[in-house]
Structure 1
Amino acid sequence: MLKHIFKQLWNRKRANIWIGVELLLVFCLLWYIVDYFFVLEYNKSLHSCRDMDHTWQVEVALLPPEHSEYQPGESDSTALEDNCYRLLDRIRGYKGVEALAVLSNWNTPGGGGYYGDWFRSRKDTTRSGRGQAILFDPRTDFFKVFRYTTKEGKPVSVDDFDWADPKSVIIGNMAKETFFPDGDAIGQILESPEKPDEWNFVVKGVVGDIKRFDYERPQLTFYRAWRATADNITEEMEIAVRSRESIPDELFLQDFKQAMSRELRVGNFYLKGVKSYNQINKDTDFEFGQTNSVRIRTAFLLFFLINIMLCVMGTFWYRIRMRRDEIGLRMAMGSTRTGIRKLLILEGLCLLAIASLPGMLIEIQLIYAGLIETIGKQNNQLVTYLPDHVVLRFILTNCLTWVLLAIAIVAAIWLPADKAAKMEPADALHYE
């Protein structure tokens, strides 16, 4: 049957050339979009050893001096620290709070802030790498709030590590493999390539890798001690809490705001707001243009699919009207209704197959021209991920593109093909 179909297409090459060109263009454009979503969804599927569900950013602020309730006696450094520790205790003691952490607001999980470190191994100075530094107060449990785990999935806590040394650092597993691939990282020294004598840290532990954003890959990460003091409380301190899973998020947010708006009125401190870290992550995606990028590509994807459906449907509807004599003859000679539908649908799929071959040649040129991006690729990555295998990625994304277009073509041809298949035998003989 396929040989016969290809002969039919060749005999009608003038009529087929325009729809073939459209299929070619749509195939290339759709592949570009499918490739983007393939990498995006692949990155999202990569495991991150932290959990931001049921976590909240509790924002506190100080009353300005001109405020009617401002207390000048509560503005010195001693009072600031005492009042800060008091409000932290009140948050920690709230019935719905499971864990609390204090961190630098440069390191908001899912946020746009970024504080980077550049280290090398003192043991082997040829091994260096850049990554995100996350600073938090070790007197609070940052790891428990965001449910950090080891690479093997074992939960970790701040108390699992020694923070007595002010130069303690905890590293992610990727950093461990980067700097100390041949041995234990505990006790090893990480130093700055620029100021090795001044800026160096002792590795005290290893935790699992995390992703800065859901759509990126795991990155090098360094966790260092940062203690809240009177000098940084007002400008840099961020409070993070984890609510108990047994309490719905909406209920926790409502009750916490209501209760803490009174409880956190300590000295000149007051509760400014509470926000979910998942919402912060979504807001950051929007600010960085990731949300719009996904929306635009989704709109183009739907546009191309609908466009090709309408084009193919109109073309085949016209063809069937012009080929009633042929269809009638086939039915008169014993072709079944199912056979007629199958013939017309296979014609459309064969057209797609013909158009996809030059389409893939054009795609290869786009790849070699460097026009295809790999989202979230790190410069110092050790792991080769699936999107890095260009040939395999090319095959998979073209298969996905072909399947999507095939579904659209079958859906578009089905109605005119079904109409042709339902032609009565008498009418078929009449057209012949």
Structure 2
Amino acid sequence: MLVHIFKQLWNRRRSNLWIGIELLLVFCLLWYIVDYFFVLEYNKSLPSCRDLNHTWQVDVALLPEEHPDYQPGESDSTALVDNYYRVLDRIRQYKEVEALAVLSSWSTPGGGGYYGDWLRNRKDTTREGSGQAILFDPRTDFFKVFRYTTKEGRPVSVEDFDWSDPKAVVIGNLAKETFFPDGDAIGQILESPRKPDDVNYIVKGVVGDTKRFDYERPQLTFFRAERITSDNITNEMEIAVRNHESISDDRFLQDFKNTMSRELRIGNFYLRGVKSYNRINAETDFRFGQTSDVRVHTGMMLFFLVNIIHCVMGTFWYRIRVRRDEVGLRMAMGSTRTDIRKMLILEGLCLLAVVVLPAMLIEVQFVYLDLIDTLGQGKNNLGYLPDRLVLRFILTNLLTWVLLAVAIVAAIWLPADKAAKMAPADALHYE
């Protein structure tokens, strides 16, 4: 049957030319969008060894000097630190708080802040890389709040590592594989290539990899201590808490704000707001343009699919009408209605198959000119599927073909079904 169908397409090559050109253009454009979503969903599927669910950023601030409740005696450095610790104790003692952490605002999980470190292995200076430094006070449990785990999935806590050394650092697994691929990282030294004598750290442990954004890949991560001082309390540090899963997020938020708005009026401190880290993550995606980028690509994909369905449906509806004599003759010669539907649908799929090769030749130019985007790609991210361009090219073209094939079958089904239901005598009489 396939040989017969291809002969049919060749005999009607002039009428098939325009729909073939349209399928060619749509295939290339749709492939570009499919490639984008392929990389995006692949990156999202990569595990991130932390959990932002049930976590909250507690925003405490100081009253301005012109406020009527401002207390000048509570503004010196000693009172500031003492009152801040009282704030932390009040939050920690709240019945629904499971864990509390104080971290640098540059290290907000899911936030847009970034504090980078460029380090290398002291013993093998060719092993170097840059990544994000996560700064937090080790007297609070940052790892427990965000439920960090090892690569194997074992939960970790700040207490699992020795933070008594001011140069202590805990690294992610990707950093371990980058700097120490052949040995144990514990006790090894990482140093700055620019100032090796002044900036260096001792590795105290390894945790699982995390991603700065959900749509990117795991990155090199360095967890370092940043202890609370009177200088960084108000403008550099933030408080993070995790609530017990036994209570809903909505209820926790309402009850916590109602209670802590009174409890945290300590000295000149007051509760300014509470926001979930999932919301911060979503707002960051929007601010960085990722949300709008996804919406644009989604809209383009839907636009192409709807238009190809309408175009193919209209074209085949017309072609079936002018081929009623052929349909009637086939049915008079013994073809069943199922055979008619099958023939018309296979015609559409064969026409799509014909345009695949020239479409792929055009797409190769996009790849050659480096016009396709690979989210999260970097020199430290090797071995990921999207970096294997040949395999990625084949998979995305296969997905594009399947997507268009479904659209074509859906578009042809109605006119094909209508043609199959014609009586043979009526179809022959039409001619």
Please say whether Structure 1 and Structure 2 have the same fold, judged by a TM-score greater than 0.5: yes
Task: Name the CA distance, whole Å, in 2 between partners of 1:402 and 1:380.
Answer: 33
SS at match of 1:150: coil
Q: CA deviation at 1:180?
A: 1.4
Asked if 1:376 is matched to 2:376, the reply is: yes
Output aligned runs, 1:126-145, within 5 Å: 126-145=126-145
Partner of 2:82: 82
Partner of 2:157: 157
- 17-26 or 180-189, which moves further after superposition? 180-189
**C-alpha contact 1:83 1:266 (8 A) present in aligned 2:** yes
Deviations for 1:165-194, whole angstroms, at most 9, x for unmatched residues? 111111111111111122111111111111
Task: Name the CA distance, whole Å, in 2 between partners of 1:356 and 1:254.
Answer: 56
Structure 2: any 5+ residue segments left out of the alignment? none
Task: Name the CA distance, whole Å, in 2 between partners of 1:67 and 1:263.
Answer: 19
**Superposition CA RMSD, Å:** 0.8
Task: Name the CA distance, whole Å, in 1 between partners of 2:200 and 2:101.
Answer: 25
Letter in 2 for 1:427: D
**C-alpha contact 2:329 2:424 (8 A) present in aligned 1:** no
After the TM superposition, list the runs of 4 or more consecutive aligned residues in structure 1 that deviate by more than 3 angstroms. none
Deviations for 1:29-59, whole angstroms, at most 9, x for unmatched residues? 0000000000000000001111111111001
Deviations for 1:199-253, whole angstroms, at most 9, x for unmatched residues? 1111111111111111111110001000111111010110000111111111111
Partner of 1:106: 106
Partner of 2:325: 325
Partner of 2:222: 222
Asked if 1:409 is matched to 2:415, the reply is: no
Letter in 2 for 1:154: R
Deviations for 1:318-338, whole angstroms, at most 9, x for unmatched residues? 111111111111111111011
**C-alpha contact 1:171 1:222 (8 A) present in aligned 2:** yes
Output aligned runs, 1:21-420, within 5 Å: 21-381=21-381, 383-420=382-419
Q: CA deviation at 1:431?
A: 3.2
How many positions carry a matched residue from both structures? 431
**C-alpha contact 2:324 2:428 (8 A) present in aligned 1:** no
SS at match of 1:235: coil
Task: Name the CA distance, whole Å, in 1 between partners of 2:64 and 2:305.
Answer: 57
Q: CA deviation at 1:393?
A: 0.6
Asked if 1:424 is matched to 2:426, the reply is: no
Task: Name the CA distance, whole Å, in 2 between partners of 1:329 and 1:118.
Answer: 76
Letter in 2 for 1:128: E
Task: Name the CA distance, whole Å, in 1 between partners of 2:172 and 2:319.
Answer: 62
Task: Name the CA distance, whole Å, in 2 between partners of 1:132 and 1:206.
Answer: 15
Task: Name the CA distance, whole Å, in 2 between partners of 1:121 and 1:420.
Answer: 72
Q: CA deviation at 1:414?
A: 0.5
**C-alpha contact 1:217 1:378 (8 A) present in aligned 2:** no
Task: Name the CA distance, whole Å, in 1 between partners of 2:190 and 2:8.
Answer: 70
Q: CA deviation at 1:425?
A: 3.0
Letter in 2 for 1:388: D
**C-alpha contact 1:60 1:270 (8 A) present in aligned 2:** yes
Task: Name the CA distance, whole Å, in 2 between partners of 1:175 and 1:10.
Answer: 58
Letter in 2 for 1:291: T
Letter in 1 for 2:174: M
Task: Name the CA distance, whole Å, in 2 between partners of 1:429 and 1:173.
Answer: 73
**C-alpha contact 1:328 1:431 (8 A) present in aligned 2:** no
Letter in 1 for 2:66: E
Structure 1: any 5+ residue segments left out of the alignment? none
**C-alpha contact 2:23 2:352 (8 A) present in aligned 1:** yes
Deviations for 1:145-181, whole angstroms, at most 9, x for unmatched residues? 0001111111100001111111111111111111112
SS at match of 1:233: coil
Task: Name the CA distance, whole Å, in 2 between partners of 1:190 and 1:357.
Answer: 51
Task: Name the CA distance, whole Å, in 1 between partners of 2:365 and 2:223.
Answer: 43
Task: Name the CA distance, whole Å, in 2 between partners of 1:238 and 1:339.
Answer: 69
Deviations for 1:382-413, whole angstroms, at most 9, x for unmatched residues? x4011111111111100100000001000000
- Using the size of structure 1 for normalisation, the TM-score is 0.99
